[in-house]
Amino acid sequence: MLNFQKYTFFNPSPNFREMMILKLISQEGNISQDVMAKNVGIVPSMINKYLKVFEENGYILKTGENRRNMTYEITQAGKKRLQFLLVSFVDEVSELYSETKDSFKKVLQTLKKDKLRNILLYGAGVVGGIVLKVLKSENINVIGFLDDSAFKQGEKLQGIDIYSPEKANELKYDALIIASFRQSEILLSKAQEKKLEKLYVFKIDEEGNISLRKESLLYER
């Protein structure tokens, strides 16, 4: 199940909670309300309210004398409801991803126009992960991440190796993109001080569209 606590911009809706509870019941009929509450991120009393509605709508059947020995069975109507919610969820997530990818349209255009095929990303964080997904969807090769954190170096992000910035001199790449917005200037300065080449940073216009700006090395200025 998705852990929405790590997604700061998204609060689960009633439909999402309904989908999660029905899915949990379909996977394990003797699941407790406490476990459901923990998975969904709400209090057990709220779970009980959802279950009452499910029973009234014919989505589940309950057996047992009390909460401790209660078991649940999802009905055909419940399975159809779960299927509808899952399809609706996937549709909305796909649309959100399409809009995110569309924001990077100018970035993709620059990479393709300048034939920048092998990319290094500086910053193995949330932004780096998003950029990686967008680039991979367009078959653009990300050869690795650079990151200043010793804890991240030697690890992988979505299957891609994370290196120290010094490792860049041993790698063959067409562009080194600063994969950060909030710390872009700091990372750019570090990259320039290390004399890393082929540097690019993100620019964001008033409409939220993202493009690439090529940066020069300090000794080239």
| 120 in the same domain as 64 | no
65 contacts 33 by C-beta, under 8 angstroms: no
pLDDT score, position 157: 93
DSSP per-residue string spanning 172-187 = --SEEEE--STTHHHH
Tally Cβ neighbours within 10 Å of residue 220.
9
At residue 7, does pLDDT exceed 90? Answer: no
Q: What is the mean pLDDT of residues 54-59?
A: 96
| Phi-psi group of 209: left, alpha or beta (phi > 0 → left; psi -120 to 50 → alpha; rest → beta) | beta
169 contacts 191 by C-beta, under 8 angstroms: no
Query: What is the domain range of residue 17?
Result: 4-101
Q: What is the mean pLDDT of residues 71-88?
A: 94
Which residue, 69, 101, 133, sits at the end of a domain? 101
The domain that holds 87 is classified in CATH as 1.10.10.10
Record the pTM: 0.62
12 contacts 2 by C-beta, under 8 angstroms: no
| 143 in the same domain as 190 | yes
| 109 in the same domain as 46 | no
The domain that holds 140 is classified in CATH as 3.40.50.720
Give tens-digit pLDDT for 156-214: 999 999 999 999 999 999 999 999 888 899 999 999 998 999 999 998 887 778 888 99
At residue 4, does pLDDT exceed 70? Answer: no
At residue 91, does pLDDT exceed 50? Answer: yes
